[in-house]
Structure 1
Amino acid sequence: MQAVAVLGLWLSLAALPARAGDILLTFTLPDRIESFDHDALAGLPVAEFETSTIWTEGMQRFRGVRMVDLLAHLGVTDGQLQLTAANDYSIEIDVESFRPDGAILAYERNGAPMTLRSKGPLWLVYPYDSSPEFRSEVIYSNSIWQLDRMALK
């Protein structure tokens, strides 16, 4: 019975958007750790696009920060990034693979913050409809959701 209550609590919390000041992303660098809440991410150059995805129905509007802008803000120019989701799923991506017309670290979808249940708090998304280059197995596997941690390797 207690396990059912804990599961119910977790599911209800997963449906809630982050509160003001909640840390959405922890970025570990060799010499420091940077933490970002919604306001800190939204304070970086904003990028938006509309695209369809293989995981959702219809067109989706994403708002976030381009990965190239986030990496420039942190002074990261090369290396390997480890991106980790809330459930500890993890991928690695070369820093050099990010392009100015490519991936954004989305913190909003269709005008609303994303919850864990809706693939948030952050989702690395690409403008899939803009080019065949963004519709490959590699890009789809890089499109990690429920993202909450990054580390430069």
Structure 2
Amino acid sequence: MSGRTEAAVVIVAPMDLVWDMTNDLESWPELFTEYAKVEILGHEGETVRFRLTMHPDENGSVHAWVSERTPDPKSRTVRARRVESHAFDYMNIFWSYEERHGGVEMRWVQEFHVNEAMSYGDEEMAAHLRKNTAIQMAHIKQRIEEAAGRR
């Protein structure tokens, strides 16, 4: 069994601004509410390997993992995956960007399988991801639309 979520948001801003801001990994602590730090570990072609560190959770635990992200500016898509998965046997994320009436639709598809050693499963993780994705997408939308207004 595996889990899958899909979510989208329309950001009222030019495509280049949406693309540039969401693919500037070093600015993710300002773009996402959950990330405290991004550390770029290396590049191989278009693929970037990086470590994401979250803000402490309600128990004071700090979670971090290594991911890889490969943007394709021609197709306006990004493929990402966790390299250090911890809670997941795998976690893959597909980002797509499409021009929509006055804005850009940014879509995330997350496919994953929770490690059986965890106290929760794919369904619980999918529910958590859907809730958190809505929060993150709303914050990203706000930040990018604010930046577009300053242009």
Higher strand share: 2
Higher relative CO (Cα under 8 Å, sequence separation at least 6) belongs to: 2
TM-score of the pair, normalised by structure 1: 0.31
